[in-house]
Structure 1
């Protein structure tokens, strides 16, 4: 088992909370992680129909089988259990429940009603660069990593991305989407996901997306919320604090895993990434995902921002911590070019910052400090010490 960064945070919070809730995409490693951290607790999968039926029809009797607590997997399938768990932890300060779920919307809705203040909530995404490196997984180039993605099962079972991701989407649609609201034609919904993949790294235009999918803008917004709540996509919000110029207010769209995005785009080999029109956007997505994971896997639910003004000047990624702002430009090119600093220089001037402020993450192998700033190889993002750093 590749050790997960989140392990340390889970162990620390379990000493303070009787209920730990771990959410994240399907097959991101939640079950493996909680079984390893809490080996003494019995494990129960609430996706098994017979077990789920007992929990639904006799929740009190079901929970009586676990006097010391349990790991309850995919617990959003049995919403009535939450009230009974609340009662148990209020009566018994020694009992421990670990709840996992892949549907953030259904899970958080029930938690807010019954377990608010009683549970710590953590989020587990697919492997980070650091976790893959620790597990002795290496890549000759970033195109291979973009294509393969970072879901644990691919590495654990040595699965081909072309086998894993179509099955993943099918499972996601059959198990998760049908539980959600606002989903009518499943084929149209799958087409909608594919259209989202083609908009990776772009400003989100609901009307355009809806027109291309053949649905209404309100339906597009509802379906996008479904994709967000089940950890398929996320929106990167624009940063507009303390600026007087006209700024873009629309968010950008990204996928939690680039391998999944590649599959939806019809990319069937790592070599195709190199010449694909979405290469730059996929590389940008790959790098931003690492900053998202750095935060979430340290228990910090914070996402980066981007910045863009009406003249087209843009910073791909802003890492924000209170009043501190760290700008990061992301370029898929593998050869160092001073032109990569054009937007950073504009940002520095606007904010009256020194020439050394910020970084350019690029597709090359060597990190380098120059007179106009720091080039950081995609392999060495740990050199950008900021949010979530140890």
Structure 2
């Protein structure tokens, strides 16, 4: 059992709010985490994928009135969008009865859909948390190669060998395409969406070129936007937006797109072993995406993430605006040399950043030129976590 770093923050929120909404893709460990939390208190667990549990909540107030004082865990809550109004009434009534915190733990697999459904009904009543696949601070620095290759989904990372891990990820992708996407009522051919997802994997970390993708797929630009919105909503793809605060510069306006879990990107490309990965053209983009996801996850809640690129060649792979102030510029390279590009120096001077960091493939933290500090990924994550 690998201890999840999110457990304490979820439990702290339950001590201060009536409910917590825990977001994350399927198979990422939301249910396991919720059940671990439930074991430490008086709780009841309901799964909206089970018809018997859905029937229990067809008249939600009749059932939930009997559970006052207990933690009610509801899994895949986005499958019953009408439930949110009932939950608002339950929370408000319980407050009047003196039960103000720790009432509901809601688990969902689609972020934007669930946030939209719950925003009006539960505004000010719940806290939102995202559970990602395993990150390096949870698995340990020695596991970095395996985590990068296999990704952080628990069953993939903990598989007995690389072949078994790849088979799990291929089944995961097939299930999402054939079962989960249709469950959202979206009529997108599974093969078309798979081709689109694979194209994104080939361009890992590249600027979004919707017209090129549409032409290769034989669909409209609107369809490409819809496919991308879906994968972002399912928390499988990250759309990293460009930094646009400097109106006087000619800046890139297209977002960068990453498959969020490196293991899924590798499965889409048929990459099974470390040797396959190191010899593949996507290796640089894959490493960059792996580091970016790790750093964003390690950063304090409320951190804003962007990249920066100007037409003159100034570039920063990852800009993090921290909630308590400070703008961190991070360069990511699969190299043991503690040197950054000239474009990085130009960009950091233009942006007046507070921290300049190079994440590189060495295990030593050393000072570089121009105020840049080179360090391994784990060290950068620790610095962010304590910022």
Deviation at 1:51, TM superposition (A): 2.2
Find the counterpart in structure 2 of residue 327 from structure 1: 329
The alignment status of 1:389 with 2:386, answered yes or no, reads yes
CA distance in 2, matches of 1:389, 1:30: 25
Deviation at 1:228, TM superposition (A): 0.7
TM-score (norm. length: structure 2): 0.89
Of 25, 50, 53, the residue aligned with 1:51 is 53
Q: For residues 376 and 18 of structure 1, do their structure 2 counterparts lie closer, same or farther at Cα, with a shift above 3 Å needed?
A: same
In the TM superposition, 1:106-145 aligns within 5 A as 106-133=113-140, 138-139=142-143, 142=145, 144-145=146-147
Q: For residues 303 and 177 of structure 1, do their structure 2 counterparts lie closer, same or farther at Cα, with a shift above 3 Å needed?
A: farther
Listed one character per residue, the Cα deviations across residues 272-325 of structure 1 (whole Å, up to 9, x for unaligned) are 111111111011001110122113xx5x14342110011333111111136622
Q: For the Cα contact (< 8 Å) 1:146–1:258, is it kept in 2?
A: yes
Q: For residues 351 and 170 of structure 1, do their structure 2 counterparts lie closer, same or farther at Cα, with a shift above 3 Å needed?
A: closer
TM-score (norm. length: structure 1): 0.89
Listed one character per residue, the Cα deviations across residues 135-154 of structure 1 (whole Å, up to 9, x for unaligned) are xx733x64x43211111223
Find the counterpart in structure 1 of residue 245 from structure 2: 241
Find the counterpart in structure 1 of residue 308 from structure 2: 307
Per the alignment, in what secondary structure is the counterpart of residue 250 of structure 1?
coil
The alignment status of 1:268 with 2:269, answered yes or no, reads no
Find the counterpart in structure 2 of residue 99 from structure 1: 106
Aligned length: 375
CA distance in 1, matches of 2:302, 2:233: 14
CA distance in 2, matches of 1:161, 1:264: 13
Q: For the Cα contact (< 8 Å) 2:137–2:378, is it kept in 1?
A: no
CA distance in 2, matches of 1:324, 1:132: 28
Q: For the Cα contact (< 8 Å) 2:204–2:258, is it kept in 1?
A: yes
Deviation at 1:376, TM superposition (A): 1.1
Higher relative contact order (CA 8 A, sep 6+): 1
Per the alignment, in what secondary structure is the counterpart of residue 304 of structure 1?
strand
Q: For residues 189 and 155 of structure 1, do their structure 2 counterparts lie closer, same or farther at Cα, with a shift above 3 Å needed?
A: closer
Listed one character per residue, the Cα deviations across residues 155-174 of structure 1 (whole Å, up to 9, x for unaligned) are 45546321211111122224
Per the alignment, in what secondary structure is the counterpart of residue 38 of structure 1?
helix
Q: For the Cα contact (< 8 Å) 2:84–2:117, is it kept in 1?
A: yes
* Root mean square deviation of aligned Cα: 2.3
Deviation at 1:218, TM superposition (A): 0.4
CA distance in 1, matches of 2:236, 2:67: 33
Per the alignment, in what secondary structure is the counterpart of residue 261 of structure 1?
helix
- Which ranges in structure 2 are unaligned for 5 or more consecutive residues? none
